[in-house]
Amino acid sequence: MAEKDKLSIVLFSGEMDKALAAFMLATTGASMGMEVKIFFTFWGLNVIKRNEGSIKSKGLMRKMLNIINRGGSKRLKLSKFHMFGLGTWMIKRLMKDINMPSVEEFIVMAHEMGVKLIPCSTSCGLMGADQEAFRPEAEPLAGAAYFLAEASNSKVTLFI
Amino acid sequence: MKADQSLDCVGLYCPMPIVKTAEKIKKLKTGEILEVVADDKGIKLDMPAWAKATGHEFLGTEEKDGEIKVYVKKTHD
C-alpha cells in the first residue's frame, strides 16, 4: 500500500444519529488505513462546537442563533423520536448498554486516529461561528474548493 | 488455532472490534498471529474485509456457543 486510500465525508446534519453514522465510518476507515476527512457544514457544525462556555458572535441575529442553536457533541438530538429529550435519552441508554461510544467519545477517538475534522468556512460565516467556537480537535476552516479537491481523489465520498 | 496474542472484544459492536484490532496489531511483530474474540456477528465479514484492505493475512474463523474467534496474521509493519 503505497498511497493511502482516502475517505471524504460531508456532515451536513447536526443530529446525533447522523453524526454517529459519520463517525462510525470515519473511525473504521482510519482503522483500515484510510486517510479520513470530515467536512462539517451547516447544521453539522454543531457536532464539533465546544461543549463549554458561550459562543461569541457579532450581530443580534447571529448571537440569537448561537443561543438557540448552541450545539456541542453533548447537546445533539435524534433526527426522529427525540420526544422532548425522552427518545434521545433512551437511545443514549441503549447505546451504553451495548458499549457503543457516544458522539463525544467518537470525536476524541477519531481525532486520535488521525481523522481530520474540518469546519466549512462559509457556514461559519453565515452562522457567526469562528475557530474559537470549535473544540480544539477541529482543523482550520476550509472552503468548498478544498473539499472538492480532496473528494476528487478520494475512493469514497459521503454526504450525510 | 494457536495465536501469539489475543484481543477480547466480547460485548462490543461494530466498529469497535475493528478499531481495537487496528490498534492491537501495531503491537505485534511481523509474522505473529492475533486472535480476536467477539460476539458481534458482523466481525465474520468485517475482519476478512479489514485484512484485505490493510494487507494482513486473514487466517479463518472459529465459532462456538455464540463466541466467535477470528485470526489474523500480521504481514507487515
Which is catalytic among the residues B1, B14, B45, B49? Answer: B14
Query: What DSSP string describes A30-97?
Result: HHTT-EEEEEE-GGGGGGGB-SSS----SSHHHHHHHHHT---TTS---SS--GGGHHHHHHHHHHHH
> Residue A79's pLDDT band (boundaries 50, 70, 90)?
very high
CATH classification for the domain delimited by A6-159, as one of 3.40.50.620, 3.40.1260.10, 3.10.450.50, 3.40.920.10: 3.40.1260.10
Annotated domain spans of chain B: 5-73
Low-confidence ranges of chain B (pLDDT < 50): none
Task: Indicate the residue of A31, A98, A109 with minimum beta-carbon distance to B50.
Answer: A31
Residues A131, A135, A137, CA angle at the centre, nearest 5°? 100
pLDDT of A97 strictly over 60: yes
> Three cell numbers at A44?
453539522
pLDDT digits (tens, 9 = 90+) for A121-136: 999 999 999 999 999 9
Closest Cα in chain B to A22: B15
Task: Indicate the residue of B19, B21, B55 with minimum beta-carbon distance to A27.
Answer: B19
pLDDT of A1 strictly over 90: no
Backbone angles phi, psi at B38, to 5 degrees: -145, 165
Task: Indicate the residue of B13, B23, B50 with minimum beta-carbon distance to A100.
Answer: B13
Give dist(CA A134, CA A60) in Å, integer. 20
B window 38-67, beta carbon within 8 A of A: 50, 53-55
> Three cell numbers at A70?
448552541
- ipTM entry: 0.85
Position A3 scores a pLDDT of 81
Calculate what percentage of chain A has a pLDDT beyond 70.
99
Smallest CA–CA distance, residue B18 to chain A, in Å, is: 7
The reply to whether residue A99 touches residue B15, judged by beta carbons under 8 angstroms, is no
**Which of A1, A6, A20, A32 is the best residue to mutate to test the B interface, defined by the most B CB atoms within 10 Å of its own CB?**
A32
Position A139 scores a pLDDT of 96
Position A129 scores a pLDDT of 92
Radius of gyration of chain B (CA): 11
pLDDT digits (tens, 9 = 90+) for A59-77: 999 999 999 999 999 999 9
Position A2 scores a pLDDT of 60
> Residue A104's pLDDT band (boundaries 50, 70, 90)?
very high
The hierarchical CATH code for the domain B5-73 is 3.30.110.40
The reply to whether residue A32 touches residue B16, judged by beta carbons under 8 angstroms, is no
Closest Cα in chain A to B76: A1
Q: Does B14 participate in catalysis according to the annotation?
A: yes
